[in-house]
Structure 1
């Protein structure tokens, strides 16, 4: 059974999703479709993905693609990408005052790397530091980062979603500590240690 929601007659959306999912991605990305929300737009599609090296998940997140042929004022267009990126970083990031700026650079550089032109781009980056005390004091501190990002793709009339899909996976890779890399390349060593939070697959 299909898990996406496509308005009857929305062949533009169907073709865009089909072409997007056929495009190659970097080898560390493992993704799958999930049930799409039904109230955000007439046509919707959603996926979850993880960045995996060996048997370790470095980051995870979710993508929702919205399409309203009539357009929505808040989008400034007829398409909208809604993204979640999550990763658990090493404790050193607990005192990194610039983590928000670094997270924002993951967004902008990923879009630029894949030539994914966007407008109405917004991002909220949340850092959660967990420290244990008393009987649990031996547990190491953890730092979780969660980024919620949305943007409107340019070129609505002849839209190619593949660069935007690749940009989302590049954001995941950056959060997981991997350097930028084009598709069809060998896996690269992380620049910082990270792993996906246990709840990153929750479609929310």
Structure 2
């Protein structure tokens, strides 16, 4: 969060942060709080995430990672068309044949829009990019398999301070990029024990 005294933090921003704390994510998703960017908005907060095959295990493989940033400007910003802007990043390594698909960018962007829609959100002023990097090794590294790294960057404006559905949507996007099967209807991911 941007440095400020407790009396300087707007009630709307505090409420937004509290709404994020109420979210339970799948056990494969590990969230950590990190400092938000200081120069983009008067108030900010950020989370990083890793999707792993097993929770908090050193031997667990990382399937995807990302960052979820909350920006808040009480005066609003014209480009945002609102006061709360959410900026996200998702990175995942894909199998080479999946990475070679010419429709990968469109499919990855549909993961973003579908995750928002499934959380009951209509993305306001949404935009973003999908980038893929194909890596092929040579020489002493030629035994490494080809791999594709996918990066989805997206931002959109929240219309109110309840950011819980937005974090849920981003978590769904992370899990989709990681290749995890969706949870069946009616099944709720259990959060960590307290």
Give TM-score scaled by structure 2 length: 0.87
- 1:47 CA displacement: 0.7
- 1:136 CA displacement: 2.3
Match status 1:32 vs 2:32 = yes
Whole-Å separation in 1 of the counterparts to 2:133 and 2:124: 29
Deviations 1:75-129 (A, max 9, x none): 0001100000000011112321010011011101100111123211112000000
Give TM-score scaled by structure 1 length: 0.83
The residue that corresponds to 1:178 in the other structure is 180
Structure 1 residues 97 and 6: CA distance shift in structure 2, 3 A: same
> Gaps (5+ residues) in structure 1?
187-204
The residue that corresponds to 2:2 in the other structure is 5
Deviations 1:142-177 (A, max 9, x none): 1000111000112x3xx3100001111111001001
- The 8 Å contact of residues 41 and 67 in structure 1, kept in 2 or not, is answered as yes
Whole-Å separation in 2 of the counterparts to 1:43 and 1:52: 30
Deviations 1:16-54 (A, max 9, x none): 111221222222211010111111111100010011222
- The 8 Å contact of residues 116 and 166 in structure 2, kept in 1 or not, is answered as yes
> Gaps (5+ residues) in structure 2?
55-59
Q: Secondary structure at the match of 2:30?
A: strand
Q: Spell out structure 1 runs of 4+ moving beyond 4 A.
A: none
Whole-Å separation in 2 of the counterparts to 1:36 and 1:9: 14
Alpha carbon RMSD of aligned pairs, Å? 1.6
Whole-Å separation in 2 of the counterparts to 1:117 and 1:160: 14
Whole-Å separation in 1 of the counterparts to 2:166 and 2:19: 12
- 1:58 CA displacement: 1.0
Whole-Å separation in 2 of the counterparts to 1:138 and 1:9: 54
Q: Secondary structure at the match of 1:46?
A: strand
Match status 1:142 vs 2:147 = yes
Structure 1 residues 88 and 152: CA distance shift in structure 2, 3 A: same
The residue that corresponds to 1:162 in the other structure is 164
- The 8 Å contact of residues 6 and 13 in structure 1, kept in 2 or not, is answered as no
Structure 1 residues 119 and 134: CA distance shift in structure 2, 3 A: same
The residue that corresponds to 1:190 in the other structure is none
Aligned pair count?
180
